[in-house]
Amino acid sequence: MHYLQDWVLVVDLEATCWLGPPPEGQRNEVIEIGVAALDLASAEIVKRGTVLIRPTDSEISPFCTELTHITPEMVEAEGVSFADACAWLLDEYAADRRLWVSWGGDDPKMMMAECTLRGQPYPFSSYHQNLRKIYAKTTKVKHGLGLSTTLEATGLGFEGTPHRGGDDAYNTARIAQWLVQHYTTGVFTRFLPKNDPPAQDTDPS
């Protein structure tokens, strides 16, 4: 497969949660996928979006709503199936052909587990990097690496609603943008596939 080397996709997942362990018969289930695309050539965030997913094996608890601002009514009205959300990632972002990053290492594990459980093909490429680790290694900062803390440290500040997938992805992308602006695209290009020419069709539309 030819990999696109124009964008880095920044991804954030939100899942059903409780103040304590899941109730009997329920599980942590992905209910939102947020994406923001950082263009490596221009260091601009060129596209962003989010999709809500209707849970099938859990209910959105009051604690989950308090944390994420996602309500049962929202996912009922706006949510799609997990399979449709994966199709959205492929159609809108060619997610299986691009490097992608997340703030921490939980998102790929959560996504892989969800796909395995549902028998759904994995929609992302195998080229994932933990942006928190990239930031720590690049800046030599070892402590205070929460998303909001890092945004404050870089002089950016959080925009939007914390713990919403789309807003968390966008703010994480702003850190990725800051890294490119201060340390060049080398912070990401070293993670791209080697010996594989870029695909001819790099039009993301």
Tell me the CATH number at 184: 3.30.420.10
pLDDT at 205: 33
**Domain count along the chain:** 1
CA-CA distance, 152 to 103, in Å (whole number)?
A: 15
Q: Give the number of other Cβ atoms within 10 Å of residue 182's Cβ.
A: 12
* Amino acid residing at 24: E
Run means of pLDDT, 10 residues per run, the chain, 205 residues: 91 98 97 98 97 98 98 98 98 97 97 98 96 95 94 96 98 98 90 55 35
pLDDT at 195: 53
Q: Side-chain half-sphere of 13: how many Cα atoms within 13 Å?
A: 26
Q: Is residue 30 part of a domain?
A: yes
Structure-block tokens of residue 106: 């939980």
Q: Is residue 201 part of a domain?
A: no
Q: Is residue 199 part of a domain?
A: no
Please check whether residue 118 is in contact with residue 82, taking contact to mean a CB–CB distance below 8 angstroms: yes
Domain assignment of residue 133, given as a range: 7-189
